Copies of this chain bind each other. A is one copy, B any other.
Amino acid sequence: MSTGDDKTATTIARAAKAAFEASQLIASSERVHALHELRDELVSAKAEILAANKRDLEAARQEVDAGCMSSSLLKRLDLNKGDKWDSMLQGVIDVANLPDPTGIVTYASELDDELELYRVSCPIGVLLVIFEARPEVVVNIATLAIKSGNAAILKGGKESNETARLLSKAIQSALSKTSIPSTYIQAIQTRAEVSALLELDQYIDLVIPRGSNSLVRSIQNNTRIPVMGHADGLCSVFLDESADLDKAVRIVLDSKTDYPAACNAAETLIVHEKVLLTVWPAVAEALLDADVQLLCDPPTISALQSLSSASGKLTSHVHQSTPDSYTTEHLSLTLSVITLPSLTDAIRFINAHSSHHTDCIVTENPAAASAFCRGVDSAGTFVNASTRFADGFRYGFGTEVGISTGRIHARGPVGLEGLVTYKYMLRSEKGHVVGEFGTGEGKKTYKHRGIEAKTVPFLE
């Protein structure tokens, strides 16, 4: 990285911090105003933005033809596909209409007469968000940052540079029509800038990488700034000895095939040995009918020998698994299958192999459900429900930053709540001092009387 990048990065980071600090004195209604302006800017710049997107798409198509880019990446670039453009606009308004996540009191106590303590939610500060191809993420993340009161520096994939540049321009124009500084949301283009920014922990408060495990780890290795990673999902479904056959078939099928490329799709199926010859063959048949490739251990292979209807697929779709099968995120119509002798073994296996994202038990036994939910150390522990439900929209958050694979600050699907922290505000009417409290004669003791308050009464 050159000294030039360092300088630029410092200028960008400083401007972001200054914008954040200045914004703390601006009413939160102005942030909502900015989001409405943003929607209007996007509407008026639509033709221009889609033309830029076409240029990105053409350049990408050449890369795909030259074998330098995957065609799935190409698909994600297209901002004019289906209802993507309209959803992006709707998302801005939906987020604008959500309740303000800041200014909410989560703990309040009267420490003494006329000495009141409030813990109140507030923005984190400056976010550095690093994400891959999809250009609409620029607008999604900017929207979430503005709504939650955080300044943000955004780095998208280079494939969408032209589109992202115009989306950023629209964000700038929108901010310029409010009292929020335009450096509140800034876009950067190069990896060198990212590297330089990762050094600046005095200005940047949280790094949010959305991408592969290796992206997240490489960032964690290179910064003192806290990282909220959004990486792989290695989810599993466990068919307990009391699994209901119909539920097992429905859930495994949905978890695997509803959207195989998603991080909340199932990659591993664990079969309790007591249901090897009862539940498993029916589940396998449904999976084979859906064209799923099965990587099986010897017991689950043997148990399928009696399957006649799907026999044609037993050779083409059923293969012996290897130890690696159980640590692979297939992201395709492939499922690893293993037999285990007990619930306890299943919990241990999941804790050792899963990515602690979302795991499901299919069971009719409440004690097994309870043990599974307590024992499995994942962001989501599901009973008789598809792993695909692990999603901010489905959870009712309206929108999501992503699905955090860390367990500090925010875990699982992260909504606006994951972009706030809190501060303590203490107010005395009398000029309280600590020296008056204690155990000696004439000393006061703390009252710690709970206060019912949803907002801080002395904040204007």
Which residue in B384, B411, B430 is a CB contact (below 8 Å) of A432? Answer: B384
Give chain A interface residues in 201-252, CB to chain B under 8 Å: 201, 205-206, 217, 220-221, 224, 226-228, 244, 246-248, 250-251
A29-37, A161-169, A279-287, A374-382: which lies at the B interface? A374-382
Identify the closest chain B residue to A109 (Cβ).
B396
- Asked whether, in the complex, the Cβ of A425 is within 8 Å of the Cβ of B24, the reply is no
- Asked whether, in the complex, the Cβ of A408 is within 8 Å of the Cβ of B206, the reply is yes
Which residue in B21, B390, B425, B435 is a CB contact (below 8 Å) of A382? Answer: B425
Identify the closest chain B residue to A217 (Cβ).
B224
Q: A124-B408, A244-B431, A247-B431 are in contact. Are A24 and B377 (CB under 8 A)?
A: yes
Per-residue B-contact encoding for A113-153, CB less than 8 Å = 1, 0 else: 00101000000110000000000000000000000000000
Residues of B within 8 A of A324 (CB): none
Question: Size range of the interface on A?
Answer: 35 or more
- Asked whether, in the complex, the Cβ of A434 is within 8 Å of the Cβ of B258, the reply is yes
Residues of B within 8 A of A21 (CB): 347-348, 351, 375, 377
**Chain B nearest CB: distance from A99 CB in Å?**
13
Identify the closest chain B residue to A395 (Cβ).
B117
- Asked whether, in the complex, the Cβ of B380 is within 8 Å of the Cβ of A435, the reply is no
Chain B CB within 8 A of A84 CB: no
Which residue in B246, B351, B379, B409 is a CB contact (below 8 Å) of A431? Answer: B246
Chain B CB within 8 A of A428 CB: yes
Among A201, A206, A385, find the residue whose CB has the most chain B CB atoms closer than 10 A: A385
Count of this chain's copies in the oligomeric assembly: 2
- Asked whether, in the complex, the Cβ of A258 is within 8 Å of the Cβ of B435, the reply is yes
Which residue in B377, B385, B459 is a CB contact (below 8 Å) of A428? Answer: B385
Chain B CB within 8 A of A111 CB: yes
Among A348, A388, A408, find the residue whose CB has the most chain B CB atoms closer than 10 A: A408
Chain B CB within 8 A of A448 CB: yes
Residues of B within 8 A of A393 (CB): 446
Chain B CB within 8 A of A389 CB: yes
- Asked whether, in the complex, the Cβ of A385 is within 8 Å of the Cβ of B427, the reply is yes
**Chain B nearest CB: distance from A24 CB in Å?**
5
Chain B CB within 8 A of A371 CB: yes
**Chain B nearest CB: distance from A331 CB in Å?**
17
- Asked whether, in the complex, the Cβ of B433 is within 8 Å of the Cβ of A258, the reply is yes
- Asked whether, in the complex, the Cβ of A394 is within 8 Å of the Cβ of B258, the reply is no
Residues of B within 8 A of A254 (CB): 433-435
Which residue in B220, B367, B381, B394 is a CB contact (below 8 Å) of A423? Answer: B381
Residues of B within 8 A of A460 (CB): 366-367, 370-371
- Asked whether, in the complex, the Cβ of A425 is within 8 Å of the Cβ of B394, the reply is no
- Asked whether, in the complex, the Cβ of A421 is within 8 Å of the Cβ of B407, the reply is yes
**Chain B nearest CB: distance from A128 CB in Å?**
13
- Asked whether, in the complex, the Cβ of A411 is within 8 Å of the Cβ of B421, the reply is yes
Residues of B within 8 A of A430 (CB): 247, 384
- Asked whether, in the complex, the Cβ of B421 is within 8 Å of the Cβ of A371, the reply is no
- Asked whether, in the complex, the Cβ of A408 is within 8 Å of the Cβ of B375, the reply is no
> Would you mind naming 30 contact pairs between A and B with Cβ atoms under 8 Å apart?
A20-B377, A21-B347, A111-B394, A117-B395, A117-B396, A206-B408, A226-B227, A226-B408, A247-B430, A254-B434, A366-B458, A370-B458, A370-B459, A373-B459, A374-B459, A379-B423, A381-B423, A381-B424, A381-B425, A382-B425, A382-B426, A382-B428, A384-B427, A385-B428, A385-B431, A386-B434, A389-B432, A408-B409, A408-B421, A412-B423
Known: A117-B395, A383-B427, A408-B408. 15 other contacts (CB 8 A): A24-B377, A25-B375, A111-B389, A117-B396, A201-B220, A221-B224, A366-B458, A370-B460, A371-B460, A383-B428, A385-B426, A388-B434, A394-B446, A408-B409, A411-B421
**Which 7 residue pairs are nearest across A and B when measured between Cβ atoms?**
A247-B431, A254-B433, A220-B224, A388-B434, A396-B448, A385-B428, A370-B460
